[in-house]
Amino acid sequence: MFLYRTRTSHSFTYFLLVVMLGLIYDNGLLAIGLFIGEGSTLETLNLWRFLGHAFFTPTLVLFALGIGRHAKLQWAKKNVTLYSFLLITITLIVYEITEIMHQTLQPVVEYGILRYTLVGAHSGPPIMVLIVTFILLLVSISLFRHTKWNVMLIGVVLMIAGSAIPLPIESGAVTNTFELIFMTALMMTMSKFLLKEAG
C-alpha cells in the first residue's frame, strides 16, 4: 500500500512536467506565428495550443496533491482528498473543452505577434485558472505552515500579482516572466520534496 501511494504521489507531481511542455509549445508557437502566417495551418496549431491548455493546466491540482503527500501533510493522505482533487481536475478539463467547442478562432496581431484567439467566451477572468490558482495558493500556505517552505507560496503570490496588476509595458514578456518565476518555484518545490523523500 505504501509503495502504491508513493508511486501515485510521484505520478501526480510529474504532471508539472507536462504543463511545462505545454508552455514551451505555447511560447514557441507564438514566436513563429508571423513566420507561418495567417491561415489554416496556424489556426490548427493554435487550436492544439488551447486544447493543451485545457487538458494540462487543470492537472496542476493533482500536482498540488502530490506535493502535499510528499510533504506528509495530513489532509493530503486522506482518500476523500484524493477523490475531491480528481473530481475537480476532471470537471475543469471537461469545462474547458466545452468552452472551446462553443468558441471560434480568429487571428490577432498583438505586440508584433500573430496568433489565433478564441472569440465568444464568457466575460471576466478564466474560471479554470482562478480555481487552479486558488487551490495552489491554499496548498502552498499549508506547505509553509507545516514545513516552513515558502518558495511555492512566493511563486503563486507573484503569479497572482502579475496577473492582477496592470503594468504600463506594451509587451507580453511581463506575463512570460511571471510564468517563468511561477514554474521555477513549482519545480524547486517538486525537487525539494521528491529528493527529501528519496533521501
CB contact set of 108 (below 8 Å; sequence gap of 6+): 114, 115, 116, 117
What proportion of the chain, given as a percentage, has pLDDT over 70? Answer: 84
Half-sphere exposure of 10 (CA within 13 A, CB side): 11
Write the DSSP symbol of residue 78: S
pLDDT at site 114? 87
CA distance 57 to 16: 9
One-letter identity of residue 41 = T
Strand ranges, E, within 27-179: 104-110, 113-119
Q: Average model confidence (pLDDT) for the chain?
A: 86
C-alpha distances in Å from residue 188, one per residue of 26, 129, 168, 183: 22, 21, 30, 9
- The string of pLDDT tens digits covering residues 49-62 is 999 999 999 999 99
pLDDT above 90 (res 187):
yes
> Euclidean distance between the first and final Cα of the chain, in Å?
20
Name all contacts of 80-86 with Cβ < 8 Å and 24+ positions apart.
85/61, 85/135, 86/62
- Show the cell assigned to 93: 478539463
Alpha helices in 15-78 (DSSP H): 15-36, 40-56, 60-70
Confidence band (pLDDT; 50, 70, 90) for 2?
very low
pTM of the model as a whole: 0.87
CA distance 104 to 111: 22
106 DSSP β-pair partners? 117
Give me the phi and psi of 107, to 5 degrees please.
-75, 145
More confident residue, 94 or 166: 94
